[in-house]
């Protein structure tokens, strides 16, 4: 209901302006249709201002967001640009004649995750361009996403429409015409890669960073409802029948045949492209929607047996309809995977090793999970696994305080059992260092400093007459999650060893 109301407000704000004249350097080029703080706009020759819904966007304005900021620009030609956290975008040129639908839109970005949905200008060749340090993107009658790293590396994904052309600074071009395909550019001077399909989980992770956060108010003092929209008289401004206007606008959107997979209609629905501000995570929605699959690209499987731990090649981890399906070298299985911490089995599980019983963790954005499982067919053995979507935007400053849980296998004086505990990791992204501590894991505590870089970290652990090591990585939007594995052994006394997987959030 709230999303529908916000969409009506966004569409109305755009349609009202279409009767205006040619946009110039001194005129507005659009409006901020949705804002999740912190986001700022800096008009030429003025100080930065904090953005709110309904503010005008002017020619040559620079828009910036911090690591939790999001906003959306509704341009006069009915196109829109959604801007994710840690982004920077400048509107270099906007010329538009609403009578003929002609003009030009040119933008520049140095960093961030952006989603552009084309309006009337994009129906012309080379009328809409987005420049980066590594390439120039030109879209024709459609939508695309861009993940631009500060070092110049970038990833462009075509969502739907007639085509997206990516031209590297050395003049080499690639054109995307199949929805769901993308290219990467390693940096300034490098050519675009050969187009390839983008995994649905990867696309969902990027979309999650430009859509609204659950519980946010979009920068409005009061969240609009259907009742407030009706009472405002906006329906009469657009037409006598607001719902007919929305239906007509939807029918006017160009339809593009698509290969299977993926389907552009499904992409538009799942990505909520026409919404000013989605109030829930698309990753969460995608995981709950029937048939949608999230494949985890970073995978590890550890087989423990009587105090030994052996890594097994993990071939595929896929979450679909709240069920995790696992394929590893020599076996496969599935088990229920619920958000947060949960127990599962043996009912509802399948495995080449037999029925499974264990515990699991799934982060709120579904960018990371772990599980620890045993089967009565193999006493003394346990399977420990985790999977994640590595963070594509790692903070370069600030402290991340992470906490969560751990589960694993303990071998103590000849007997084996599953155990659990908690962990914390206080990580300084400026120095790529932190302190990792495990608490009450099988009744024991141990900790140690960690060092990292490129989104991962490792270090030595000690405590309770134990020594060992930890290896972790950051996952999800802007390093929202962390997870990995650790192992410790006794330094004195009876033989004792523990191997575990862990996961938590900031």
Mean pLDDT of the region 87-116:
89
* Residue 129: per-residue pLDDT: 92
- Peptide bond before residue 108 is cis, with ω within 30 degrees of 0: no
Does 225 score more than 80 pLDDT?
A: no
* % residues pLDDT > 90 (the chain): 42
DSSP H helical segments within 132-180, as ranges? none
- 36 phi-psi bin (left φ>0, alpha ψ -120 to 50, beta other): beta
Query: Given a cut of 70, is residue 194 above it in pLDDT?
Result: yes
Domains of the chain: 2-210 (2.60.120.1440), 296-505 (2.40.160.90)
Rounded-to-integer distance, Cα 129 and Cα 107, Å: 6
Taking alpha carbons only, the member of 306, 284, 281, 304 closest to residue 294 is: 284
Higher pLDDT, 8 or 72: 72
Which residues lie closer than 8 Å to 74 by C-beta, 6 or more apart? 10, 13, 14, 30, 31, 32, 33, 80, 276
- Return the CA Rg of the chain: 25
pLDDT band at 212 (very low <50, low <70, confident <90, very high): low
Q: Cβ–Cβ contacts within 10 Å for residue 45, how many?
A: 6
Query: Does residue 355 have a pLDDT over 80?
Result: yes
Strands (E), 395-475: 399-412, 415-428, 433-441, 444-453, 456-463, 466-475
Name the H helices within 360-498: none
Question: Cα–Cα distances in Å, from 185 out to 115, 178, 216?
Answer: 17, 18, 34
Which range is least confidently modeled, 31-45, 102-116, 201-215, 277-291?
Answer: 277-291
- Identify the three-state secondary structure at position 122: helix
pLDDT in tens, 124-155: 888 899 999 999 999 988 899 999 998 888 99
**Burial annotation 333-360 (CB, 10 A radius, 16+ → b, else e):** bbbbbebeeeebbbeebebebebbbbbb
Take residue 12 and report the two structure tokens written for it. 């109305």
Q: Is 225 exposed, middle or buried (0-12, 13-18, 19+ CB in 10 A)?
A: middle
Question: pLDDT digit string (tens) for 407-439?
Answer: 999 999 888 999 999 999 999 999 999 999 999
C-alpha–C-alpha distance, residues 294 and 283, integer Å: 8
What is the β-pairing status of strands 102-117 and 128-131?
Answer: parallel
- 434 forms bridges with which residues in the sheet? 427, 450
Full DSSP string of 493-505? SS-EEEEEEEEEE
Q: Is the pLDDT of residue 240 over 80?
A: no
């Amino acid at each position: 209901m709230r999303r529908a109301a916000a969409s009506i407000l966004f569409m109305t704000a755009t349609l009202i302006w279409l009767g205006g004249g040619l946009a110039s350097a001194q005129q507005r080029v659009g409006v901020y249709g949705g804002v999740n703080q912190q986001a700022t706009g800096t008009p030429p020759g003025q100080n930065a201002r904090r953005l709110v819904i309904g503010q005008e966007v002017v020619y040559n304005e620079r828009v910036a967001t911090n690591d939790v900021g999001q906003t959306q620009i509704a341009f006069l030609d009915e196109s829109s640009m959604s801007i994710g956290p840690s982004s920077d975008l400048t509107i270099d040129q906007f010329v538009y004649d609403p009578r003929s639908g002609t003009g030009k839109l040119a933008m520049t970005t140095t960093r961030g995750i952006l989603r552009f949905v084309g309006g009337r200008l994009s129906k012309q060749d080379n009328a809409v361009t987005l420049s980066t340090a590594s390439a120039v993107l030109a879209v024709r009658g459609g939508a695309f996403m861009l993940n631009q790293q500060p070092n110049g590396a970038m990833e462009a994904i075509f969502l739907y429409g007639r085509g997206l052309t990516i031209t590297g600074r050395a003049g080499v071009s690639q054109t995307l015409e199949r929805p769901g395909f993308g290219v990467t550019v390693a940096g300034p001077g490098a050519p675009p890669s050969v187009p390839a399909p983008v995994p649905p989980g990867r696309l969902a992770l990027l979309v999650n960073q430009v859509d609204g956060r659950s519980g946010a108010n979009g920068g409005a003092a009061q969240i609009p409802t259907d009742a407030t929209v009706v009472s405002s008289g906006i329906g009469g401004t657009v037409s006598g029948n607001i719902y007919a206007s929305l239906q007509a606008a939807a029918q006017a959107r160009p339809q593009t045949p698509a290969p299977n997979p993926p389907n552009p209609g499904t992409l538009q629905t799942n990505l909520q492209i026409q919404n000013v501000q989605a109030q829930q995570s698309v990753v969460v929605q995608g995981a709950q929607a029937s048939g949608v699959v999230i494949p985890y690209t970073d995978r590890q499987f550890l087989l423990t047996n009587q105090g030994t731990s052996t890594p097994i090649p993990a071939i595929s981890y896929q979450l679909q309809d709240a069920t995790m399906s696992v394929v590893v070298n020599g076996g496969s299985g599935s088990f229920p995977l619920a958000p947060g911490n949960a127990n599962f089995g043996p009912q509802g599980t399948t495995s080449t090793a037999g029925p499974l019983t264990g515990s699991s963790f799934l982060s709120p954005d579904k960018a990371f999970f772990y599980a620890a499982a045993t089967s009565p067919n193999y006493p003394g053995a346990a399977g420990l696994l985790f999977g994640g979507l590595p963070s594509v935007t790692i903070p370069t400053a600030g402290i991340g305080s992470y906490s969560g849980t751990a589960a694993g296998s303990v071998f103590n004086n000849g007997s084996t059992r599953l155990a659990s505990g908690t962990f914390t990791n206080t990580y300084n992204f400026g120095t790529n260092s932190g302190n990792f501590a495990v608490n009450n894991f099988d009744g024991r505590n141990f900790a140690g400093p960690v060092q990292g870089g490129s989104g991962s970290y490792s270090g030595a652990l000690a405590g309770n007459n134990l020594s060992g090591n930890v290896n972790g990585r950051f996952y999800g939007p802007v390093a929202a999650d962390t997870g990995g594995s650790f192992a410790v052994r006794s330094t004195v006394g009876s033989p004792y060893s523990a191997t575990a997987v862990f996961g938590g959030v900031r």
